[in-house]
Amino acid sequence: MTIQRFDCGLRMSEMVVHNGTVYLCGQIADFEAMGGVTHDVTAQTRDVLRQIDVLLERAGTDKSRLLTATVYLADMAGFAAMNAAWDAWVDRANAPARATVEAKLADPDLLVEIQVIAAL
């Protein structure tokens, strides 16, 4: 079976496609695209979801085909703010299985990281 890897680095690939499934690495806010660091969970979540849409489209699928999502929050106090952006974005007719956990993220300015798996 063919394995396609996208935007490979030394440690990881941005996206891997195998056997009809798309695996994204954890997506974080792009502060440069956002015009600088923002300490707003909703804004960071919106940016992450925008990036997920771009990657899924590149793979030939979309959010209606999500299977699972794992949301990592730097602080669970941001849960409602993250959900505000998530609820506006998610395909409610095809919501994925989802887990949300509090985690220490790689950069203290990061408030949210989301990793998804989707079907083609």
What phi and psi values does residue 97 have, to the nearest 5 degrees? -65, 135
Q: How many domains does the chain have?
A: 1
Question: What confidence tens digit (pLDDT) does each residue in 45-104 have?
Answer: 999 999 999 999 999 999 999 999 999 999 999 999 999 999 999 999 999 999 999 999
d(CA 95, CA 58): 20
Q: Which two tokens stand for residue 119?
A: 């079907």
pTM of the model: 0.96
CB contact at 8 A, 82 and 72: no
Q: Tokens 């490979």 appear where?
A: 8
The 10 Å Cβ neighbour count of residue 12 is 12
Q: Tokens 């489209």 appear where?
A: 57
CATH assignment at residue 111: 3.30.1330.40
Domain that holds residue 108: 3-119
Among 28, 53, 54, smallest CA distance to 41 is for 28
